Amino acid sequence: MAGGGEGNGVVSGVRVRFAPSPTGSLHVGSARTALYNFLYARHCGGTMVLRIEDTDLKRSDTTHDASILRDLTWLRLQADEGPDVGGEYGPYRQSRRAHLYEAAVDKLLAKGWAYPCFCSQEVLEERKERLLARGEMPVYDRTCLGLSAAEIEMRLAAGEKAVIRFRVPEGDVTFEDLIHGSITFSSDVIGDFIIKRTDGGYSYNFAVVVDDAGMEITHVIRGEDHITNTARQLMLFSALGEPAPRYGHHSLILAPDGSKLSKRHGATSIGDFRALGYLPAAMVNYLALLSWHPADERDKFSLAELIAEFDIEKVSKSPAVFDVQKLDWLNGLYIRELEVAELYRLIEPHLAEAGLRLAPVQREVVTEAVQSKLTVLGDAPDYVAVFVEETDPTACPCADGLLAADSDTLFDLAREVFSAMPSEYLPAKEAQETLRTLVEKAKEQGIKGKALYHPLRIALSARDEGPELFYLVGGLGRSTILARLDEALAYVARYKEANSP
């Protein structure tokens, strides 16, 4: 038995699906699966289907369901069909497709590809232990395969519980994986597996086959942890008389230490990264390049460029390592390309959460001041705080820097220049001109370089480092600047008086 296939490239009639289970938030690994499906569908001019696999009612949660949809929308990976947009192949939630699964079970029973099994879990465990003790593969021994129709009917009528097992055909199952190439499984190591449980639920492998067939899915792109499921699914497609999709199994995402990426390594869900202040374009760009890269040696690609270049057959088989430092670098590039007004709109919720508020006339210059400093939007409060928090330059750890030679002359000059500011806050360009005026006047007094910039920075911000000085001039506000200069002058005067001969 073999899965069919055609070469990669622009394939007409492509239909892919992303099928998350709403048992948790959208992990970056699942997001990359969604992205590869999205890129392949768009590259081929095909259709992306979103299907919610919520048959595990005990673990499924509608809050996770909603968060997955929200995260996909945030990443700009909107499906063409799904529970939120509809389509001709619905329902798009497994919990609403039980009638389709039951019809498929009946079809397999009628064709002899399935049969009831009454073996208890205790009996199955005993057989499994015996087989393992003999060094044999613990597959089901088909005890119930030969039961007559009369005996089955009698036992069911007596209230005995039975699962429905699929009768695995003999021989190998071979398929051509889009990423791994030819893969072969022997049916001897699979055994007749359950497709319907005693509680009336349906197994994962069975439900997805019925769904993929019913939704006419042509390509399944998913993680390599699903490779072993593929043989069972191909058998089911064949038994149901349905064409099988092509499969491509990408590698998993690992932590830098080579272990499975988990919470102990930091943020792992898309919601986590969104809350920290990563941009969706940066996340998509980074995730796309885990295990795949266009021929172009660049690292920064728009979504349109990724769509144009994507080739599933060039996805690497090697594990992908999640490098948050590279993501940070890439996110910083995207932040620096934003228009200032758009950046303010994005950082404003982070400022509000930190209790920081910028006056409308202050926003442009302050946002421009911090733009080159940000790695993520969530860093904004740390950089903006200097512009809005009350502070005393004479009480900071670096206050001794106010006592440089001629600093009182410098502060007097600064007070003279800044008093003449035409408005409370200045745009960056005007602030540069104002600072340049001070620099020229200070040079005339022999004050320049570190003797100028270091005391002035401490006086204005009570910090040793921070934004460019002209941004402080423009964004602090004239009244704040003058008040701090007065404090600095008084501090210098007290020091000189205390240390005069």
> Phi, psi at residue 132, to the nearest 5°?
-65, -40
Angle between helices 478-498 and 407-419 (to 10 degrees): 160
If you ran DSSP here, which 8-state letter would residue 175 be given? E
Q: Which helix (H) or strand (E) holds 223?
A: strand 219-223
Select from 357, 311, 233, 321 the least CA-distant residue to 29: 321
SS3 160: coil
Written as six digits, the tokens of 379 are 């860093």
If you ran DSSP here, which 8-state letter would residue 385 be given? H
Active site residue 443: no
Amino acid at residue number 409: T
Q: Is the Cα torsion angle 58, 62, 67, 73 positive or negative in sign? A: positive
Partners of 321 in the beta sheet? Answer: 254
Q: Is the Cα torsion angle 80, 82, 83, 88 positive or negative in sign? A: positive
SS3 16: strand
Written as six digits, the tokens of 444 are 């005339």
Q: Distance of CA 261 to CAs 218, 254, 321, 468, Å?
A: 30, 5, 9, 39
DSSP string, 308-330: HH--GGGS-SSPEE--HHHHHHH
Residue in the block written with tokens 């594990």: 319
Which is catalytic among the residues 111, 128, 263, 429?
A: 263
- Spatial distance between the Cα atoms of 38 and 166, rounded to a whole number of angstroms: 33
- Spatial distance between the Cα atoms of 84 and 73, rounded to a whole number of angstroms: 11
- Spatial distance between the Cα atoms of 282 and 473, rounded to a whole number of angstroms: 32
Q: How many CA atoms lie less than 13 Å away from 53 in the CB half-sphere?
A: 18
Written as six digits, the tokens of 59 are 């673990």
Active site residues: 263
